[in-house]
Structure 1
Amino acid sequence: MPEELAARAEAVEAEFMYQYESSAPPSIAAALGITTTRIGGGVALSMRHDPTGYWSKALGFGFDEPVTAGLVDRVLDFYRSEGSVGAVLQIAPSVLPADWADIARRHGLRPGGRIVKLACPIEDFTPAGETALRIEHVGPGDARAWASVVLKGFGMPEEGLAEMLVAVAGHPNWRPFAAWEGDRIVGGASLFLHGEVASLNSGAVLADHRNRGAQSALIAARVREAASAGCRWLVAETGEPAEGVGNPSLNNMLRAGLQRLYTRQSWIWSPGGIS
C-alpha cells in the first residue's frame, strides 16, 4: 500500500470531520460543547454534550509528525482540558509506533470498532446498479431536510446535529446529494473535495427505502461530480462488519471499484483511564 495514498486518505477524513464540527453555528457549538484544534498534523475534535458518542475523535496523525508518546499526551491533554467524557483515537496502522501497546496501556486506551478505508483512482470507478429514485444535488432550500434524513439514517438525533450538517452544505468544497421519492428526501450523502482527493462520506438511506439502489446511485452521482471537479482519487471509509455479518455500504463501494486500503483500529479513551 503506497504510504502517500494512506496519508491522503487519512488527511481528507480528518479535514472533513474538522470542517463538520468547526463550522457549527456559535449557538450550536455552545450547546453541544464543540471545540476543535489541530495537533501534530492531525485534528482533535471534542463535543462535550455529544448525544451519540461519535463526534469526539482525534485522527489524521503520523504523516506530518511521528506518532509518539508525547503526541498522544498532547492529544489527551486537550480532551482533559475540555472536560471531555471520552474520545476515540483513530490512527492508520502503518504509522503506529513500535511501542504503541505500551502507550495504549499507559493511558488506558482500549480497542473499539474497526474502520475499513477504501480508495481507487477515479477512472477505476464502475457504476453499479440502478434506482427509480431521483438523485440530485441538494440546494439551500432542501439542506435541512437532507440533514434530517442523513441523521435518521444513521440513528442519530437531529437536535443541534442537523444545524451542524446544514452549516457545511453551502461550502464550496462540500457537495450534498439526496435521493428523492416524489418530493420527499429518503436518502442523503456528502462529497468533500480536498485537492485531488474526493471523500465519499455521510451516506445514509431511511430504513423503509433501503435495497432500492439509492446508495449505489448516490455514490455514482458524487463520483461524477468529483470527476467534473478534477479529482484523481476517491476515498471512503465504513465500519468493518462482524464475522458473518454483512455491511451493505462496504459491499456497494467494493462493487463500484473501490479497493480496501487497510483496516484501522479505533482506540477509546475515557478520563478514568490510566495516565
Structure 2
Amino acid sequence: MLPALAELAEAEFMFRYESEAPADVRDALGLATTRMGGGVVLSMRHDPTNYWSKALGFGFDEPVNGDLIRRVCDFYRAERTPAAVIQIAPDRLPADWDGICARENITAGGTWVKLAAEIETLRPGRTDLRVGPVTDDLVDQWASVVLRCFGMPEEHLGPMVAASVRDPRFHPYAAWDGHEMVAAANLFIHGPMGSLNTGATLPTHRGRGAQSALLTARAAAAAEAGCRWVTAETGRPEPGASNSSLNNLLRVGLTPLYERRNWVWQADRAS
C-alpha cells in the first residue's frame, strides 16, 4: 500500500507541475503530458535542464509490460523528445525488463531513494530562520528561489512552477532570514499521503536547519489536511559521498522504502 501511495503521489504532483503551465510556456518549452497505464508521461522537448521529461506511476493500476513501455516511448518519439527518464518501483519491473530495455533503447541511470513515514512518528526539526507558508503574492519569488537553488533557469520554468503551485493541492512553504526568502519547499496532498517535494536552500544559508524545519512544518500541514503519511524521494549518494537532502529526511524520521533506478530512454541509438 505505501509504495503505491508514494509513487502515485509523486506522479501526480509532477503531472500538475507541467500540465498546468500557461499556454505560452507550454509552447516555448514544447510541453506535452498524458496519462497512460495508470501512470503519467511528461515531455519537455526544449528542456534546458534534462530533468522534466519523465514517465512514472506505473505498475499499480496496470502491470508494466512491453506494450506499455512501447506506448510510452512512442509518445516521446511523436513529441520529438530527445531523452526521458522512466521511474518504476523495483518490485513492479517485469521479468523480461532487460529485453524491453534493449528493444526501446533504455539504459540504467542513477538511483533514487524513496522514503515515507507516518506523520505521528516524525521528530521535529528546528532552525533559527522564520518558517511558514507562502502567500499567493509571494509565489513568484518562491519559484525564483526554488529554481536558483537547483541551478535551473527562471525563463519559462519560473512561470510554470508558479502557476502549478496555485493549485489548491499544493502548499508552498519557505524560510526567511529577516525579509529575505532563503529556502523553499512544497507539499502536495494526495489522499492520505502528503508528498514532501521541491526542498532547496540558497548556498548562503545552508547548514542552518531550514530544510529540517520545513519538513516539520509541511508534515504538520499534511496532518491537518487529513494525511496519515508523508513521502519524499532524493538521490542516493555515491559510495563515500553524502546527500544533505537524504540526511535531512532521515533526521526527522522518514525511512527508506526502497531504492529506485532511473531508466533513461534516448531517441537515437548510439552508433
TM-score (norm 1): 0.97
Tell me by how many angstroms 1:264 deviates.
0.3
Q: Aligned partners of 2:103, 2:168: CA distance in 1, in Å?
A: 42
Tell me by how many angstroms 1:140 deviates.
1.3
Q: Confirm whether residue 143 of structure 1 aligns to residue 139 of structure 2.
A: yes
Amino acid at match of 2:265: W
Correspondence for 1:209 among 198, 202, 205: 205
Q: Is the 8 A contact 2:18 2:164 kept in 1?
A: no
Correspondence for 2:97 among 96, 100, 112: 100
Within 5 Å, give how 1:1-275 maps onto structure 2: 4-128=1-125, 130-273=126-269
Amino acid at match of 1:77: D
Amino acid at match of 2:186: S
Q: Is the 8 A contact 2:187 2:194 kept in 1?
A: yes
* Cα deviation 1:64-110 (Å, max 9, x = unaligned): 11000000000000000001111111110011000001111112211
TM-score (norm 2): 0.98
Tell me by how many angstroms 1:273 deviates.
3.0
Q: Is the 8 A contact 1:56 1:87 kept in 2?
A: yes
Q: Is the 8 A contact 1:107 1:273 kept in 2?
A: no
SS of 2:123's equivalent in the other structure is coil
Q: Aligned partners of 1:35, 1:108: CA distance in 2, in Å?
A: 21
Tell me by how many angstroms 1:169 deviates.
2.2
Q: Aligned partners of 1:200, 1:43: CA distance in 2, in Å?
A: 19
* Cα deviation 1:202-253 (Å, max 9, x = unaligned): 0000011100110101111101111111100111000011111011110111
Q: Relative to structure 2, which stretch is displaced further, 160-169 or 15-24?
A: 160-169
Tell me by how many angstroms 1:28 deviates.
0.5
SS of 1:66's equivalent in the other structure is coil
Amino acid at match of 2:164: V
SS of 2:160's equivalent in the other structure is helix
Tell me by how many angstroms 1:257 deviates.
0.9
Q: Is the 8 A contact 2:17 2:165 kept in 1?
A: no
Unaligned runs of 5+ in 2: none
Unaligned runs of 5+ in 1: none
Amino acid at match of 2:189: L
Tell me by how many angstroms 1:15 deviates.
0.2
Amino acid at match of 1:106: R
Q: Aligned partners of 2:8, 2:121: CA distance in 1, in Å?
A: 21
Amino acid at match of 1:57: K
Residues matched between the structures, number: 270
Q: Aligned partners of 1:47, 1:83: CA distance in 2, in Å?
A: 9
Amino acid at match of 1:24: A
Tell me by how many angstroms 1:155 deviates.
1.1
Give the ranges of 4+ consecutive aligned residues of structure 1 lying more than 4 Å apart after TM superposition.
Answer: none
